[in-house]
A and B are shown apart, each in its own frame.
Chain A
């Protein structure tokens, strides 16, 4: 069964350092999402791609966060510099796109701890 792959699963970094997360969506999925989930809360959308184009990044803190999906396949989310408040689970999801009636498929997430 096809899955969304994310790495690393866990990351501990010191504040002010740079950190990057990688996501490989299900093959053929045009829409890719990055969500941030604080423990015990709902996922909050950071950025949404349609192929290689950003559809929505209104909630992405652009002074420190960046995201790219250069060839419209896999994607990287970067934080530089990391702050203590960035500690959270970062979830990647993908869906076929199109009419929007297909569910999004989630990866296992990357648990970030900033110390």
Chain B
């Protein structure tokens, strides 16, 4: 069975500072990894994904994420946080040997303060 863990319920950061939102995963095979963002009463918006190749992937709104196979992690990062980045962030995984099942973590609330 595949699973995702987001160990922090909330991350607080000051505007202009770098941010990291943590994600670890568990799959039996090789993973496809995704990050989504959710604003209040809205659906999930895709940010970025890791499929293969370079371990550092870049996505929307200046976000990037680093795939680390040995640590089974896929942390989301941004060099300089904006107040408008405040939202709920979800990490998700697909095991490439398990069809198209997409499993989400519990989410991390990012609060960026001015």
| Chain B residues with CB below 8 A from A44, complex form | 104
Q: Which of B32, B102, B107 contacts A33 (CB 8 A)?
A: B102
The total of interchain contacts (Cβ-Cβ below 8 angstroms) comes to 70
Given the complex, which residues of A lie within 8 Å of B49, measured CB to CB? 101, 103
Binds B, one of A14-22, A64-72, A91-99: A91-99
Per the 8 Å Cβ criterion, residues 35-49 of B in contact with A are: 36, 41-46, 49
| Contact assessment for A100 and B43 in the assembled complex, using a CB-CB cutoff below 8 Å | no
Number of interface residues of B (CB under 8 A): 27
**In the assembled complex, which residues on chain B have CB atoms less than 8 Å from the CB atom of A95?**
100, 102
Query: A48-B101, A105-B46, A107-B43 are contacts. A99–B106 as well, Cβ < 8 Å?
Result: no
Binary interface encoding of chain B residues 77-97 relative to chain A, with 1 for a CB under 8 A from any of its CBs, else 0: 000000000001010001010
Enumerate chain B interface residues (CB-CB to A < 8 A): 4, 6, 32, 34, 36, 41-46, 49, 51, 88, 90, 94, 96, 99-107, 109
- Given A95-B100, A100-B32, A101-B49: 16 more A-B contacts, CB < 8 Å: A40-B107, A42-B4, A44-B104, A50-B99, A55-B101, A56-B99, A89-B41, A91-B43, A93-B43, A93-B44, A93-B102, A100-B94, A100-B100, A105-B46, A106-B36, A109-B41
